[in-house]
Amino acid sequence: MNKTVLVTGGTGYIGSHTVVALQKKGFKVIVVDNLCNSSINALDGIKKITGEKPLFYKIDIARDKNALHKLFIKHGDIENIIHFAALKSVPESVKKPLLYYYNNLNGMTNILENMKKFQIPNLVFSSSCTVYGQPDNLPVTEKSPLRKANCSYGNTKRICEEIIADYLIVNQNINAISLRYFNPIGAHPSVFIGELPTGIPDNLVPYITQTAIGKRDQLRIFGNDYNTKDGTCIRDYIDIMDLADAHLAGLYRMIENKQKYNCEIFNVGIGKGISVLEIVKTFEKANNLKLNYKITDRRPGDIEKIYADVSYANKELGWKAYRTLSESLHNAWKWEQYLQKN
């Protein structure tokens, strides 16, 4: 079994945790990232956890096809790719749609072109629950209808899935699994890696932790007039290490030739909807503190509620999320404290 994996976006939040999971299973990892929304310091955190720093190349895969091509020539042993590299801010994608279409779609097509050229068989694609838009029925299954996303970011994920599916029809020797994951939270228990947003966080939990530690004066909760149990948005929050394990499960499914089709899709979440206010209250309880927060207007691009049916992933991938919400929020707080000291 060839155990060399190229991880695009491997210094990012989800990418770095997945690199740790891969290295602990004995995979040789090569990381590619342009560092536009991540830090090179993630590699040091990975080394502290695993004892090994992955090979790293600073390449913009959407804009520098030549550098990407040279990478594949240099590393002819790559047989697996996990593709995270993409712009990911929902609010920014509303304001800058062309930037998101250019970056995320070009990155995807450049990866697929090289997979064919260098006969690389296995791809795990980082997709998103945003492809469902605002669903009519909950929980969403993999067969739920796809709606036009409320933001360009979500639309690029749907289009990338379509690009993969179309490409694999005529390239049957390539296998792909798209993981539609929900809201990752938490940090590695060692707190050597975690979520590190640039500027004001778009995601809820780093905004919470930055407020708790004093980087932000106040946590803003965007709307309390949604049709939900407490008026705040509902999401499916999954621990980052459970999510990393799902990528391993998808990779092994292809390596071990267990796929039913050469192009498959799985939801990855905990299968439960949790409101913003529930996250706030659980964080306070898990860490024995109080947050300063206020309700503000709704945020463009946000949907009201979504959570997953994950039974298909549980059955087919042999994977299940098992870390608790309190554990995830406690690790997120420990990570914020670690950043403050370092």
Enzyme catalytic residues: 153
**Cβ-proximal residues to 167 (8 Å cutoff; 6+ apart), any chain:** 112, 174
Q: Assign 32 to helix, strand or coil.
A: strand
> Among residues 187, 226, 224, which one has the least CA distance to residue 208?
187
**Cβ-proximal residues to 341 (8 Å cutoff; 6+ apart), any chain:** none
In Å, the largest CA–CA distance within the chain is 56
Q: Assign 126 to helix, strand or coil.
A: strand
Dihedral angle of Cα 277, 281, 282, 285, to the nearest 10 degrees? 170
Please say whether the beta carbons of 30 and 78 come within 8 A.
yes
Type of residue numbered 156: T
| The pair of three-digit structure tokens given for residue 220, joined into one six-digit string | 């803003």
The residue with tokens 């439960």 is: 272
Cα distance from N-terminal residue to C-terminal residue, the chain: 40
- Calculate helix-pair angle for 204-213, 325-341, nearest 10 degrees: 50
Please say whether the beta carbons of 240 and 184 come within 8 A.
yes
The Cα–Cα gap between 5 and 18 comes to: 11
The Cα–Cα gap between 312 and 251 comes to: 16
Give the single-character DSSP code of 54: P
Helices (H), the chain: 13-24, 42-50, 65-74, 90-95, 97-117, 152-169, 204-213, 240-255, 276-287, 311-317, 325-341
